[in-house]
Amino acid sequence: MPSFDVVSEIDRQELRNAVDQAQRELANRFDFKNTNSSIEQKELVLTLATVSEDRLRALRTLLEEKLVKRQISLKGLEWGKVEQASGDTVRQIVTVKVGINSDKAREINKMIKEKGPKGVSSQTQSEQVRVTSKKRDDLQAVISMLKGADLGIPLQFNNFRD
């Protein structure tokens, strides 16, 4: 029976490359000289630090540009609050969300059941949703429907089987 999986993943190497590129540009840009600005990465948590909120916005824009260039969706980023740090500096924590949580999986299942073609079934399997149908065309219709829906997370479709 034809099926595919709906997942929300991120290429961790591309994330690392985007952060490295942003750090390199940060070191060379004149508007960031003497601001002690930095981007630090620990797994899927990024910490942006600089001297003012204005520089923090510029740092955020710089990071977003590098992520988009590397085809990393900005929907997968969860921006924390701007916090005061030591020595008149500010910082912001960015968490990269991976996987489909149970609420989003329920929302996807409900959408497939309501708007999808007849004969299409879906079930949640840990952090992914498996969609099955007797017809390949129905599965492709579900993929295009999910691509058009704004669920707030980046979706990828893999393991397409006939």
Which residue, of 96, 119, 151, is where some domain finishes?
Answer: 96
Give the distance, in angstroms, between the CA of residue 149 and the centroid of all CA atoms in the same chain: 15
Residues 89 and 49 in one domain: yes
Alpha-carbon distances of 106 from 57, 133, 148, rounded to whole Å: 35, 18, 17
pLDDT by residue (tens digit) across 102-128?
Answer: 899 999 999 999 988 888 999 998 889
DSSP for residue 149? S
- Residue 5's pLDDT band (cuts 50, 70, 90): very high
Give the chain's domain count.
2
End-of-domain residue from the set 46, 75, 96: 96
Do residue 84 and residue 28 come from a single domain? yes
Backbone angles phi, psi at 150, to 5 degrees: -100, 100
Where a domain ends, among 43, 72, 96? 96
For residue range 43-67, what is the model confidence (pLDDT) as tens digits? 999 999 999 889 999 999 999 999 9
**Do 67 and 127 reside in the same domain of the chain?**
no
Residues 89 and 24 in one domain: yes
Average pLDDT over residues 29-34: 89
Domain of residue 68, residue span: 12-96
Q: What is the structure's pLDDT at 34?
A: 86
Task: Tell me the pTM.
Answer: 0.82
How far is the C-alpha of 11 from the C-alpha of 81, rounded, in Å? 25
| Residues 103 and 149 placed together within one structural domain of the fold | yes
Note the pLDDT of residue 20: 95
Terminal Cα-to-Cα distance of the chain (whole angstroms): 6
Domain co-membership, 83 together with 109: no
- pLDDT for res 17: 95
- Whether 71 and 122 map to the same domain: the answer is no
